[in-house]
Structure 1
Amino acid sequence: MEIKIRGEELILDKERAIYLPKERLLAISDLHLGKAAHFRKAGLAIPNTVSRNDLLRLENLLQKYQPKQLLINGDMFHSDYNTEIDEFAKWRKKFNEVSFILVKGNHDKQKEEIYTDLAIEVHEPSYNCAGFCFIHDTIQCRSDLYPIGGHLHPGIRVYNKAKQGLKFPCFYFGEDYAILPAFSAFTGLRLLKPKENDQIFAIVASKVIKV
């Protein structure tokens, strides 16, 4: 799905990402690497394929768009250092030509040297690009640029002709700010209540649709 926001072309991808062609920038939010390992440590039987599948999806996006930059808009790592971050370190070496940029979120609490070793450029609280202010929580934005946030894991309920409702992750674009869907499949959804002029794009099956 191609849209224009504040005169800038954006591509909304069904894999919960946006791409800015002019900037050659791919942006995602709420990757939450290490979340499955964190829950396993607590005794919950979460398969280790969760993060691997997320990284495979991200790898496919990087190969598809060939961006110069990958922007993670907060919550790249879910908690303390664990084995899934070690797996990411090995995966990261496949894309040494891509600049990785992290806008810190509420879960990003690794030591500074961890980000340095992984060749991740860290920005806090925001990163400005192409008229947009990428920031994890839009409430904290102090810029005159259009904020693009994450954090909320937005979802929308879509009804069929039989008035049966299903919940889907979505992209939200309002008059004052936007919210990206959570990239990780291992996240819940916070259902939105859109206003009249809001633009909502739901990710259903294998496509993005405007609702």
Structure 2
Amino acid sequence: MDAMTASGWEFLPDRAIWWPSESTLIVSDLHLGKAAHFRRHGIAVPNAVNTNTLERLSALVSRHRPQRLLVLGDLFHSEENSEWLEFKAWLSDLNAEPWFEEFRLVEGNHDILHPSAFDGVRLERSARWVHGNWMFVHDPDDVADLPDGRYGVSGHLHPALSLVGKGRQSLKLPCWWYSAERRVLVVPTFGTFTGSVSVKPQPGDSCWVTTGDTVISVPVSA
């Protein structure tokens, strides 16, 4: 994908994108608050999964020191709960860093918090965000009729690629999937407590998987 190469995007093993020329870290589908939402409904999920998502994000932020953090939807999983307070404290610390300028959320279908939840929170929200040649949305279906030279980037699908070995053993890994027909890159979910769905790239598409330690480009069969 020439536009992505020209922009110098780096796919990171921990399911994020680093855009160095824009000093922007891109992630999607954190689903913070999901553990507390499940506990409220009688399903015992430890808060550690929420904390782990923020700790992993903190590690990437510390390593790259982005001026902008861009989340492609589903920042928070449900209605407001105690884990929203944990996130607000985390974001307050990030906003206090002298090198950090903007937390931007492209809202997804799970981002249903009441507007009052954002009172006093330094965070930009919008249904989509266009920057340069890129249109950032949550759902790839929200990208349509892109003008020539523009590309879409989305989350929502929690994409993974199922790999089958010669002995018929299989392995499903989170992936970035670029649809050549639609000119849309779908990025993997970042949240610790999220599932994944196998996608089926078509000839001409591009796909990269992450093992958690390294990112591998996977040829798409004709």
TM-score normalised by the shorter chain: which range applies? Answer: over 0.9
Q: Give the structure 1 partner of residue 134 of structure 2.
A: 132
TM-score, normalisation: structure 1? 0.93
Q: Tell me which amino acid in the other structure corresponds to 1:140.
A: D
List gaps (5 residues or longer) in structure 1: none
Q: Is 2:190 the counterpart of 1:183?
A: yes
Structure 2 unaligned regions, length at least 5: none
Say whether 1:80 aligns with 2:98.
Answer: no
For 1:20 and 1:130, locate their aligned partners in 2 and report how far apart those are by CA, in whole Å: 13
Count of residues in correspondence between the two structures = 208
Runs of 4+ with deviation above 6 angstroms: none
How much has 1:177 moved relative to structure 2? 0.6
Q: Give the structure with the higher percent strand.
A: 1
Tell me the C-alpha RMSD between the 2 structures.
1.5
Greater alpha carbon shift after TM alignment, 101-110 vs 138-147: 138-147
TM-score, reference length from structure 2: 0.89
Distance 2:217 2:168 in 1: 18
CA–CA distance in structure 1, aligned partners of residues 215 and 118 of structure 2 = 33
Q: In 2 relative to 1, CA 27–205 (structure 1 residues): closer, same or farther, beyond 3 Å?
A: closer
Is the 8 Å Cα contact of residues 100 and 121 (structure 1) preserved in structure 2?
yes
- Alpha-carbon distance, 1:90 to partner: 1.2
SS at match of 1:51: helix
- Give the drift of 1:159: 2.3
8 Å Cα contact 1:8/1:130 also seen in 2: no
Alignment CA distance shift 1:140-1:185 (3 Å): same
Identity of aligned residues (%): 37
The residue correspondences of 1:148-163 to structure 2 (distance < 5 A) are 148-163=153-168
SS of equivalent to 1:5? helix
Please say if 1:40 is aligned against 2:47. Answer: no
Residues 53-202 of structure 1 mapped to structure 2, 5 A cutoff: 53-96=52-95, 97=97, 98=100, 99-124=102-127, 126-142=128-144, 143-144=146-147, 145-175=150-180, 176-202=183-209
Per the TM alignment, residue 81 of structure 1 is displaced from its structure 2 partner at its CA by 0.3
- Give 1:117 deviation, angstroms: 2.2
Classify 1:205/1:23 alpha carbon distance in 2 versus 1 (closer, same or farther; 3 Å). closer
Name the SS for the 1:94 alignment partner: helix
The answer (yes or no) to whether the contact 2:32–2:50 under 8 Å persists in 1 is: yes
Moved more, 107-116 or 165-174: 107-116
Cα distance, 1:112 vs. partner? 2.0
Q: 2:214 aligns with which of 200, 207, 210?
A: 207
